[in-house]
Amino acid sequence: MSLLKVDNISVSYGAIQALRGCSLRVDEGEIVTLIGGNGAGKSTMLRTISGLLKPKQGTIEFEGKPIQGGPPHLIAQSGLVHVPEGRGIFANLTVAENLSLGAYSRSDHDQIRKDREQALDLFPRVRERLKQAAGTLSGGEQQMVAIARALLARPKLLMLDEPSLGLAPQVVQTIFQVIREINKTGTTILLVEQNAAMALKVAHRAYVIEVGSIEMEGPAADLASSDEVRKAYLGAH
């Protein structure tokens, strides 16, 4: 069943059209990745789905209900949770305080404690740094905090925008391993990622976006072996 359906959406920043008639779907239990070059419209797509941008045309449905143009906080509370590019960590707050903000709209305290433990099991390094100010952490650790915080919102669909950006290769491996783990526990994932090789390895299905238009879609393994995709995004000649 489709958890998320984006149908024919267009988005503009002033005179610049960032998305042109884009459609995609994410089915329950999948990891779907959206790959493309810099400025192709990947982040715009996620920001539009999560209500931060309003589409000029088209519809977005989450669990069968229209959400396009809705208030971002209500979209997040419905279970569609967005980890933005750049992580959005509150630098002056401790790691523990950052995590508790993930559960700000919940009141089921016992379950919050369980979810927090599960998130910290996924990220042992975050557990070691709970009392530290989040701004003192490395980029990789901040990314881990951002994902752990999102998990405390109990996402049905977790949207990750460039989780590996600017991180050391070893940390990138860890982040992608955790993405797989999160998906195995039943969370559906929409992943925007410039590291196309890694994204296509973890995803079930993939979309390629170029200059605001979806140009290709299909099983991730098929796209990974396509000559076009390999030349453009995987550094194969």
Per-position pLDDT tens, the chain of length 237: 799 999 999 999 988 999 999 999 999 999 999 999 888 999 999 999 999 999 999 999 999 999 998 999 999 999 999 999 877 899 999 999 999 999 988 889 898 999 999 999 999 999 999 999 999 999 999 999 999 999 999 999 999 999 998 888 888 999 999 999 999 999 999 999 988 999 999 999 999 999 999 999 999 999 999 988 888 887 654
Burial class (CB in 10 A: 0-12, 13-18, 19+), 104: exposed
What are the chain's domains?
A: 2-79+155-233 (3.40.50.300), 90-154 (no CATH)
Whether pTM exceeds 0.75: yes
Closest CA to 102 of 70, 54, 143, 150: 150
